[in-house]
Amino acid sequence: GLYPVLMSLARWGDEWMDRGEGAPLEYVHQKCGHKTRATLTCSECGEPLRPEEVKPRLGPALRKLVAESGAAGELHPDIPPLLRGTPSRP
């Protein structure tokens, strides 16, 4: 659900609110008793995910949609402008 999103937002807020006195809230992992912070990790290797080390690529559903649209001679309206090669409209 939303728990990972909320914890990530809380971490972001804690970092921005820290004025040298520490974060306004601390989170304690009840299982081990240690202070912790939300981290995103790779589901495959367990390494932390850093924004500069992650890039999106077309998944199976979008690849299929692009292929079907191309075969029909027109692009499906659900294909994002970035993939169409045209600027997005406001």
Q: What ranges do the domains of the chain cover?
A: 1-55, 56-90
Alpha-carbon distance of 7 to 38, in angstroms, equals: 6
- Quick one: DSSP state of residue 27? E
- Quick one: DSSP state of residue 45? T
**Is the entire prediction scored with pTM above 0.75?**
no
Distances (CA, A) of 77 to 3, 37, 56, 84, 85: 32, 40, 20, 10, 13
pLDDT of amino acid 82: 63
Which tens digits make up the pLDDT trace of 34-69?
998 888 889 999 998 888 898 888 788 878 877 777
Sequence letter at residue 13:
G
The chain-wide mean pLDDT, for the chain, equals 80
Which tens digits make up the pLDDT trace of 20-32?
888 888 899 999 9
Compute the residue count for the chain. 90
